[in-house]
Structure 1
Amino acid sequence: MTLAAAQAPDADTVLTRTPRQALRRRAGWISLVALVVLVAVTVVVLLNSSTVSKDPLDAGNPAPQGSRALVEVLKQHGVDVVTTGSLKQTRAALGDPADTTVMLYDPQSIMTAEQRDSLLSLGTEVVAVEPDLLALRDLAPGVGLVGEVSGSFRADCSVEAVRKAGTVTASGLGYRLTPDTGDPATACLSRDGASGLIRLDEGDRAITVLGVGTALQNGTITRDGDAALALNLLGSRHTLIWYISTIDDYAESSSASLADVTPAWVTPLLVLLALAGVAAIVWRGRRFGAIVVENLPVVVRASETMEGRARLYSRANARLHALDSLRVGTVDRLAVASGLPRSATVEEVIDAVAALTGRDRSAVAAVLLDEIPRGDADLVRLSDELLALEADTAAAVLR
C-alpha cells in the first residue's frame, strides 16, 4: 500500500461537520450567552415592577432617607395617613379641615405662589418641611432663612411636640423670626440665632416651619427625642395628608401646553434646521483640525464666583440672606481678631467687639445681628458698616 493510498479517506467517511456537531461544539458558549440574557431580563423586570420609592421623606421609602417607619407607627396609633403628590389630590383627600394636618415637602420648588395660597385656604394645620425662600414668602411671611443647622437641641419653647421630645438631634435648615412677623410666633430648637422649628399661630390653625427634616427620616428618627417630636407634631389630629409635591403640581399650574402656544410655522422650521444640521455634520464631520493643547487645571477667579452668587441673590430679592452671608464671614473674622475661638457665639463676639471699639453694644448687635435691610440702599449701608466695624476692631487691637 502506498502512502497516498494510506492517507486517502474511505468512501463512507464524511469530513464536513453536520449542524448538530457544530452546535455541540458551541453548546458552552450558547448556554453562557443565554444565561446572561436571562439574568438581564430578570433584573429589568424586577426593577420595572418595583413599587418601592427611593425619594427622601417618601412615605413608602424604607431607605435611611425615607419616612416609612414614621408613617407605619402613625398608622398604628390610629392616624389615617394619606399620601398625595399634587394639590388636586390633597383637596380630594381632605375631609374635616379642623381634624387634618398637612405635611408639605417641596424640595424642588415645583409649587407656585397661587398653589401655596390655595393650600393655606384649605383651613388645615400645615407643617412645611425645609421650605426655601420662595415658600417662606407665601407660607410664613416674616420668617427668614438663616442657613444650615445641625446638632442636639434641647426643648426651649412651649410647643407641645418640642416639649415632649426633650432633646432633638437632627440637621437641616435654620430659620429666624423677623420684625415683619405679624401672627403670634414661637421659635424652638434654637442655637446661635437659628431655629430648627418655628410655629405661627393663626387663630384656629397653625403653620409650622420644620427645618430639621432628618428628624422624620428612618435612619435618624431613633436619636434622642426625634421620634417623639415627629409623632406629636404630625399625629395630633385624626388625618395626616403626607403631601410631597411632584411634577403633577407643575402640570396643574400650566394652563396651556407647549403645542397650544407654538405658532404653526415653528415645527417645519425645526425640521428644516435639523436636516441642515445633519447635512453639516456629514459635510464637515471628517475634517479634523489641529489638536488644541489646553493648560489644566483651569483657574477660576474668586471674583467670578462671588459675582455669580450676588446675581442669584439679586434675582431672588434675598437681601436678608445676602446680608446674613456677609455677617457670618464678618463674625468669624471679628472672633479671630478679638482673640476668641471660632466656636464663640455671636453674643460673645458682640461683647468683645463692643469692649474693644468702645461702641455701644446695641449698635454693634444691630449691625451684626438685628437690623433688617428694607431695600438695596439699606443692604449697601449695612455692608459698609460691617467693613467699618471690622476695620475699627483691627485698629483697636493694634493700639
Structure 2
Amino acid sequence: MTLTEHLPSDAAAPPPTDVATPTLGTRLRRGRFWIIAAVFAIVITLLLMFATRGASIDATLLSPGNQTPNGGRALAQVLRQQGVTVTETTTLDTTLDAVGDAASTVLLFDSDGLLDAAQLARLARLEDSEARIVVVTPRATALRELFPAVSFAGSSASSDVLPAECGDDTATRAGGVTGGWTLYTSSDDDDESCFNAASGGSGLVSSQRGDLVLLGSADALTNDVIDREGNAALALGLLGAREQLVWYLPSLADVPVTGPPSLDELTPSWVAGVTGTVVITALLAMLWRGRRFGPLVIENLPVAVRASETMEGRARLYQRSANRARALDALRIGTVSRLALATGLSRQASVIEVADTAAGLTGLDPRHVRAVLLDAYPSSDAELVTLSDHLLDLEAAVARATDLTGRNHP
C-alpha cells in the first residue's frame, strides 16, 4: 500500500480543532470535579437563601407582625392609626420595663403555658400601677393564679354569635361576637360576665374595676376573623383605651433554666485564658519553625523502565480515554523530528518545511504529505492505525530517496 492510497476520506480537510489542543469534552472530563463542586455550592447557597427568607416571615399565632390569617397585624395597624403605641414583647422583664409609668394595656397570650406561678404573680402586680391586663385564653395555671374565682365552662362553636347581655360599655358597643369562644363562669359577684352562651358560661369576664380582663377567644383578634360581627369593636375598646399597648407573647426565654450545671458553668474561669494562650503560642511556633517546601529534587528511579513499556503504557492510556489526537500527535512529532534529521533540516524547521522537503525528495503530492503530517484527523481507531502506517511509509520513502541521492552524489 502506497502513501497516496487509502488515506481517510477527510484527509485533505482541515481538522475541526488543533490536534494538540484538548477538545471541549476532554476539558469537561478533566474539570468534572470542580463543575460538580460549583453546582453543589450554588444549590446550597440557593437553599440557604430560601430558608433564610422563609425564616424571616413572622408566623407566630396572634403576633402583631404576622400577616397570615392567624396573625394579629390587622388589629395592630388599626390601633397604631388611632394613635396607640403598640410594643411587642417576648419576655416578662421587657414587658414590665415597657409598661413603666405610662398608661398602658397589657395583652397576654401565652398559648403554650410558658409562664409559671411566680411569673404570673409578678405580672398581676401591674394592677397596682393602674395598667389594664387582658388575658387571652389562659391555660389552667394562669387561670388559677390570675382569676382564682373563675373556672372553665365549655366552649361555643365558631359560627355561634354571642350577644353582650351585660353592663360593660365596651361589650355593649360591640353588640355580638363570633369566632369560637372558650366559656367561663365566675363565683365572684363583683366580676362582670359578658357574651353569654345559651349552654351557659361567658366569653368575657372582667374584674369590678375592669383592670383585669379574661378574653375567651384568640380567633376573634386574628386577621381572618377580626372583621366579623362586633369583634373589631370589642378588640379596639379593650386594647385601645390607653395610650400604649404592650403586646406580650411569652417565649422560651421566659422558661426558667433547670437541671444540672452546664460544662461552661463547671469550667474554671482561668481555663479559657490558658487555652487561648496555648493555641496562640502553638501557631507562632509553627510559623517560626515551619519549613516551606523547597525546589523539586530529581532522583533516579529504583528500577530501569524500558522505553517500549513506557510507550505501551501511554498508548493504553490514550486508547482508554479515546484520545486519538494526542496519540497521533506523539507519532507525528517523532516522525517530523526524524524526517528533519534525514533531510538535513534544522531542528527548528516547521512542519510545513519538513513536509515540502519530503515531498520534493520523494516526488509525492505535497497535499498528501501535509495531510499525513499535519491535516488529517482520525475519527476512529482504524483511521488512526492507517495514518500511523502512512507515517511509516513516508519515512521509508524519504530514507530511500536520501539513500539514492547519496549514491548518485558521492
Shorter-chain TM-score bucket reads 0.5 to 0.7
| Counterpart pick for 2:99 among 89, 94, 106 | 94
1:1-399 to 2 correspondence within 5 Å? 1=1, 6=7, 18=22, 20-23=24-27, 38=42, 41-48=45-52, 51-96=56-101, 99-123=103-127, 124-150=131-157, 151-177=160-186, 179=187, 181=188, 184-191=190-197, 192-201=199-208, 203=209, 206-250=211-255, 253-254=256-257, 258-259=261-262
Structure 2 unpaired stretches of 5+: 268-410
Structure 1 unpaired stretches of 5+: 265-399
| Cα offsets for 1:126-166 (capped at 9, x unmatched) | 10001011110001111112333222112211222211111
Would the alpha carbon gap of residues 25 and 102 (structure 1) be closer, same or farther in structure 2, given more than 3 Å must change?
A: same
For 2:154 and 2:2, the matched residues in 1 are separated by: 99
For 2:61 and 2:111, the matched residues in 1 are separated by: 9
Secondary structure of the structure 2 residue equivalent to 1:57: coil
**Which shows bigger deviation, 101-110 or 150-159?**
150-159
Q: 8 Å contact 1:146–1:174 — kept in the other structure?
A: yes
Secondary structure of the structure 2 residue equivalent to 1:145: strand
Q: Note the C-alpha offset of 1:116.
A: 0.4
Q: Note the C-alpha offset of 1:37.
A: 5.7
Q: Note the C-alpha offset of 1:80.
A: 1.0
Return the letter of the residue paired with 2:138. Answer: P
Q: Note the C-alpha offset of 1:6.
A: 4.2
| Cα offsets for 1:350-383 (capped at 9, x unmatched) | xxxxxxxxxxxxxxxxxxxxxxxxxxxxxxxxxx
Secondary structure of the structure 2 residue equivalent to 1:109: coil
Q: Note the C-alpha offset of 1:200.
A: 1.8
TM-score scaled to structure 2, two decimals?
0.54
% same residue = 31
Return the letter of the residue paired with 2:22. Answer: T
For 2:264 and 2:231, the matched residues in 1 are separated by: 49
For 2:194 and 2:264, the matched residues in 1 are separated by: 48
Q: Note the C-alpha offset of 1:20.
A: 3.7
For 2:93 and 2:260, the matched residues in 1 are separated by: 18
Secondary structure of the structure 2 residue equivalent to 1:197: strand
Would the alpha carbon gap of residues 248 and 43 (structure 1) be closer, same or farther in structure 2, given more than 3 Å must change?
A: same
Would the alpha carbon gap of residues 71 and 38 (structure 1) be closer, same or farther in structure 2, given more than 3 Å must change?
A: same
Secondary structure of the structure 2 residue equivalent to 1:122: helix
Q: Note the C-alpha offset of 1:239.
A: 0.9
| Cα offsets for 1:148-199 (capped at 9, x unmatched) | 322211221122221111121211422222x3x3x61111111111221111
Match of 2:301 in 1: none
| Cα offsets for 1:68-88 (capped at 9, x unmatched) | 110011011011111110110
Secondary structure of the structure 1 residue equivalent to 2:193: strand
Would the alpha carbon gap of residues 40 and 63 (structure 1) be closer, same or farther in structure 2, given more than 3 Å must change?
A: farther
Secondary structure of the structure 2 residue equivalent to 1:81: strand
Q: Note the C-alpha offset of 1:31.
A: 8.8
For 1:25 and 1:69, the matched residues in 2 are separated by: 58
Q: 8 Å contact 1:140–1:200 — kept in the other structure?
A: no
Match of 1:394 in 2: none
Return the letter of the residue paired with 2:113. Answer: S
Q: Note the C-alpha offset of 1:207.
A: 1.2
Return the letter of the residue paired with 2:107. Answer: M
Secondary structure of the structure 2 residue equivalent to 1:170: coil
Work out which of the two has the higher radius of gyration on C-alpha atoms and give 1 or 2.
2
| Cα offsets for 1:90-117 (capped at 9, x unmatched) | 11111326x2110001111110101001
Secondary structure of the structure 1 residue equivalent to 2:179: strand
Would the alpha carbon gap of residues 65 and 263 (structure 1) be closer, same or farther in structure 2, given more than 3 Å must change?
A: same
**Which shows bigger deviation, 16-25 or 143-152?**
16-25
Q: Note the C-alpha offset of 1:24.
A: 6.2
Return the letter of the residue paired with 1:214. Answer: D
Question: Considering only aligned residues, what root-mean-square deviation do their CA atoms show, in Å?
Answer: 3.8
TM-score scaled to structure 1, two decimals?
0.56
Q: Note the C-alpha offset of 1:62.
A: 0.5
Task: Indicate the structure with greater strand content.
Answer: 1
Paired residues, number:
255
